[in-house]
Structure 1
């Protein structure tokens, strides 16, 4: 709103926010808008107030996570130098947190933000200081994915192998195999298909994770031209999926991989079967999850109309979930997927029915990144009213990156 020139309305909105952290960030954006219009005295006054508010936040781990979100958004907006400056501050704050668990997860946020900024080696070095093994592994997986995206496949594999070693130290086999599945997918994307396959086959407790891991490897092999080997792995993944009590989501993942491997008829048959199985589930929570998984696969396969129809049905089922918190979470995920499928108005309408602010903001800001700037500004304004600043950051960068730069430079 401030970037659109409506500074008085934006300032009034900012002052309606009770949390000092969020209020400070919105006021910084308003100050930037005032400065652009030449109202330098008013801008200076607001910046002084903003700095006071920002310094009133006393939880360093929370401050660090807020800075990490801002740094990631700045990087996405092309402001890498500013992002790294903000992340320096974020890391320093994270290390002052007294509680070891809070400190570790704050560092995870900073490490993942550093990876997103392109500071891969620094992120790896930071990961070594994280005392929670699953958090350390997640940072390394993010770094590995970023190395692969940069074309540094050898370095990606080394980092992901390190991540797998840390995951294996987790005491709970279910936690271990859940995280290993993410490493498998990242290795496959990095082109280390043989290593990814071996790792996927080491997953023995969670059969659906093993199936999804093998499907990811099969998809990567097909992309590399090894279609015969890919077909064998995908057939194995399908067989494994059928041994699961509720195989709909796993079959959907295999179907998506088959579509990517240019086997449309087989993929369509498998996705149709997955949909039928999901609809047959009696528990509304499980049915919603299954329908969501199939819809995601359909979107990935380009079948948007079919996906939107399925998501509409899933919304009806989700509203019957007894646990209000889980219901809100599932409605949020369905709204995000509707946005991804191009059903923007439906996504916005659904967002306004979600009672949990965090889940509603997730949908609004996902949608804001997809629609035209004038509409996006309205969505972001609604999101900011709910005091969940860090979610709209990426969307603000899309609408007006200068707002992010102002927040970084003027407040901190």
Structure 2
């Protein structure tokens, strides 16, 4: 039957979806008579969900899960036994039990997934804010084309994942055992959005958007850091994310070792200076009551010990500032027959240098091939195949687990000159080398 409080529903009624990862999926909540409440899932089905999606301008209904699929809500149950035809413009127009504040169990809260639902995740799912990106379109997970993504869009994905800001975005090959669906939708974010679903979108026309060009993200992490107010992302006032709020670190307790870890965390090289003035602005956010006690060897700020002083009176005039060297890494394979075959060289500290073969193994080689968009490693060679690196360049010794998206994510040690250690430079033959050779048409069979 139609509830007998239809007149009461003429008041402003607000609707939202909570805990679903985007504004277009989640637990159905109604703001009614001054309080947010939920909807009981008795008789809840797809036509009811269709009305919710229409009312929220979220496209069409994909599913109508009950049983508190998106978690148990709080407050009262506003209504139950909802029966929409599916054509109504708003949920308050549907037949239901009388609207009010029922004291029913939230174990049966109703949910909705709409077609415009867009939510990211990083794989493997136990990774800490880095990995291969997938986006949920409605109820289907798809990989994103790495050739169509930029840092602004990556920032939105990291923010939606509560993983801070984007440190890097790159293209990598999917190495899982199952097939993947590649999305044809392209996000064109400005960078200030909080959800991918609110970014402008278009369709991709790139011919190379296949399972070999998936987006790999490295986010700064769920407790930051980021540098604000500088000339680039590698200089500025040090801010750290706690929950959903950014705050400044106090400069009174911020030293060289802490600054080195911040630069390392953001892949910004090493510390150039730690300004003690307010040249990067004073900031309007809170100053966190914590003191990072890094030893300088950590690779992420969250690995440093932290103390919290009870008598903390740091003012905005004493903020932590950092200017990093901004030495971005580059990777290449040289002296081979294609870009996916050759001696491994890394650009760092102003010059190119080889990677040493002392502890080099299949895991390390797979990371190199993945970072270059060259598939996986088929063969590992020493300098007898591709020759040694020239000059007094940096020599890198890498130790990877194999799941890293970039070589700089691995444990890296450096020595100034190749004569400092025994051994030779490594080379790699990646799986995509053969696809590249075939595409050149260099034989009667291709």
TM-score by length of 2: 0.24
Relative contact order, higher structure (CA 8 A, sep 6+): 1
Q: Pick the structure with greater CA Rg.
A: 2
Bigger fraction of residues in helix: 1
Bigger fraction of residues in strand: 2
TM-score by length of 1: 0.26
